C-alpha cells in the first residue's frame, strides 16, 4: 500500500507525468529531457529524483552521462500512462521534440559507423556469413525456453535485435559509449523497448548473480586481456539450467588482425574454452564450427547445471540439434 501511494504522489504533477511518457519511449539523458520540456536542468533533475525514489523510473550512469527509463519492475507506471489522453497537445509536442532528439542520435551514430564500418566489413569478408552464425546461435539458444538474456560486449546491439522480439528481456553491456550510441539507435529503430543497454566492464558486471537464463559473448573474447575472467563473470550471472554461448574465431595466423584491429588473441582452441568454462562451474556442450575463408567461427555452448538433471539433458539435446 505504501509503495502504491508513493508512486501515485510522485506522478501527480504535470511535468512528472510528461517525464514518464517520454521515458516510456526509451532511455533519455537529463540534457535531452531538459531540451524537450524547455525547463531548467535543476528543476528537471528534482522531478526525476522523485520519480526514481518512487520506483517509477530507473536511473543509470554511462560515463559522464546519466540515463533514465521507465522502471522495469512493477506495473504502476504503465497503468498510469494508459490513463493519459493520447491526443493531448502538450504530450504531442513533447513527442515531436523527442523525435528530433532521436533523429540527432541517429545522425551521430551513422557518422561513427561510417568512420569505422570499413574495418568491420574487411574482417567479416574473411569468414562465414553472419546470417549463418546467427542461425546457429538461435538453435543453441531456442527463444521458447528463455526469459532473460545478457549480451556481453553488445557493440551495435545485433544480438539484442535477434533475440529481443522473441523473449521477455534482453540486456546489452559494452564499455564503449560510441558503440552504445549506435546500439541505442538500432534498437529504437527496431522498436525493441524490452532491450536495455548499460555501459559496463565485462570483467566486473554490475549485475546480480544468477539473473539470466542465457549469456552471449559474441566476437568479444579476442579483445580480452583476461578471457578466462570474462567467462567466469558471465557464468556468475547465469541461472541454474542456463546457457552461455561464446562465439569467436578458431585459432588462425592472421597477424594483421592483431596489428591493425587490436585483436589480442588470434582465435581460441576448443580445449582452452572448455577449461575456462569448467573452471567457472559450467558444463561444456558440443561445439559447432562454421568454416570460412580463411577464418572459422566457433560456437562454444556451456551450461550451468540445474538442480534437476532432466532439465540439463533437455538443454544438451537442444544444443546438438542440427
Q: In this structure, what C-alpha cell is assigned to residue 303?
A: 551450461
Give 285-298 as a DSSP string: ---EEE--SS--EE
- pLDDT tens string 221-264: 999 988 999 999 999 999 999 999 999 999 998 988 888 888 88
pLDDT tens for the chain, residues 1 to 322? 788 888 899 999 999 999 999 999 888 999 999 999 999 999 999 999 999 999 999 998 866 778 898 886 566 888 889 999 988 999 999 999 999 998 888 888 677 667 776 677 677 778 999 999 999 999 999 988 899 999 999 999 999 999 999 999 999 999 988 889 989 999 999 999 899 999 999 999 999 999 999 999 999 999 998 899 999 999 999 999 999 999 999 999 898 888 888 888 899 999 999 999 999 999 999 999 999 999 999 999 999 987 544 444 434 444 343 3
Please choose, from the candidates 243, 66, 226, the residue with its C-alpha nearest in 3D space to the C-alpha of residue 137: 243
Residue 317: what pLDDT?
43
**What is the value of pTM for the model shown?**
0.76
Superfamily, domain 126-319:
Vaccinia Virus protein VP39 (3.40.50.150)
Give start and end residues of each alpha helix (H) in the chain.
2-11, 14-23, 30-37, 41-53, 76-82, 89-124, 130-140, 158-163, 177-190, 227-236, 255-261, 270-279, 309-319
Q: 170 and 164 in contact (C-beta within 8 Å)?
A: yes
Residue 124: what pLDDT?
74
Residue 123: what pLDDT?
79
Report the distance separating Cα 268 and Cα 270, nearest Å.
7
CATH-assigned architecture of domain 2-98: Orthogonal Bundle (1.10)
Annotated domain spans of the chain: 2-98, 126-319
Q: In this structure, what C-alpha cell is assigned to residue 282?
A: 559450467
Report the distance separating Cα 22 and Cα 10, nearest Å.
16
Amino acid at each position: 500500500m505504501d509503495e502504491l501511494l508513493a508512486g501515485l504522489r510522485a506522478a501527480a504533477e504535470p511535468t512528472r507525468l510528461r517525464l514518464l511518457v517520454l521515458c516510456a519511449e526509451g532511455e533519455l539523458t537529463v540534457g535531452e529531457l531538459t531540451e524537450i520540456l524547455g525547463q531548467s536542468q535543476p528543476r528537471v533533475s528534482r522531478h526525476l529524483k522523485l520519480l526514481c525514489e518512487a520506483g517509477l523510473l530507473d536511473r543509470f550512469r554511462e560515463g559522464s552521462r546519466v540515463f533514465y527509463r521507465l522502471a522495469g519492475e512493477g506495473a504502476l507506471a504503465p497503468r498510469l500512462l494508459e490513463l493519459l489522453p493520447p491526443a493531448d497537445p502538450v504530450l504531442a509536442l513533447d513527442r515531436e521534440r523527442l523525435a528530433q532528439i532521436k533523429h540527432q542520435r541517429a545522425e551521430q551514430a551513422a557518422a561513427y559507423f561510417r568512420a569505422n564500418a570499413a574495418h568491420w566489413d574487411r574482417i567479416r569478408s574473411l569468414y562465414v556469413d553472419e546470417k549463418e552464425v546467427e542461425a546457429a546461435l538461435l538453435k543453441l539458444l531456442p527463444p521458447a525456453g528463455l526469459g532473460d538474456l545478457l549480451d556481453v560486449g553488445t557493440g551495435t546491439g545485433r544480438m539484442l535485435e535477434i533475440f529481443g522480439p522473441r523473449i521477455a528481456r534482453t540486456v546489452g553491456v559494452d564499455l564503449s559509449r560510441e558503440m552504445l550510441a549506435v546500439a541505442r539507435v538500432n534498437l529504437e529503430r527496431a522498436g525493441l523497448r524490452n532491450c536495455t543497454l548499460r555501459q559496463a566492464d565485462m570483467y566486473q558486471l554490475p549485475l546480480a548473480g544468477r539473473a539470466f537464463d542465457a549469456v552471449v559473448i559474441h566476437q568479444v573474447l579476442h579483445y580480452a586481456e583476461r578471457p578466462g575472467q570474462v567467462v567466469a563473470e558471465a557464468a556468475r550471472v547465469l541461472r541454474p539450467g542456463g546457457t552461455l554461448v561464446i562465439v569467436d574465431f578458431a585459432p588462425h595466423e592472421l597477424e594483421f588482425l592483431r596489428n591493425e584491429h587490436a585483436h589480442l588473441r588470434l582465435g581460441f582452441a576448443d580445449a582452452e574454452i572448455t577449461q575456462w568454462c569448467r573452471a567457472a562451474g559450467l558444463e561444456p556442450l558440443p561445439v559447432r564450427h562454421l568454416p570460412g575463408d580463411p577464418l572459422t567461427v566457433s560456437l562454444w555452448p556451456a551450461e550451468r547445471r540445474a538442480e534437476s538433471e532432466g532439465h540439463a539433458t533437455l538443454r544438451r539435446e537442444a544444443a546438438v540439434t542440427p
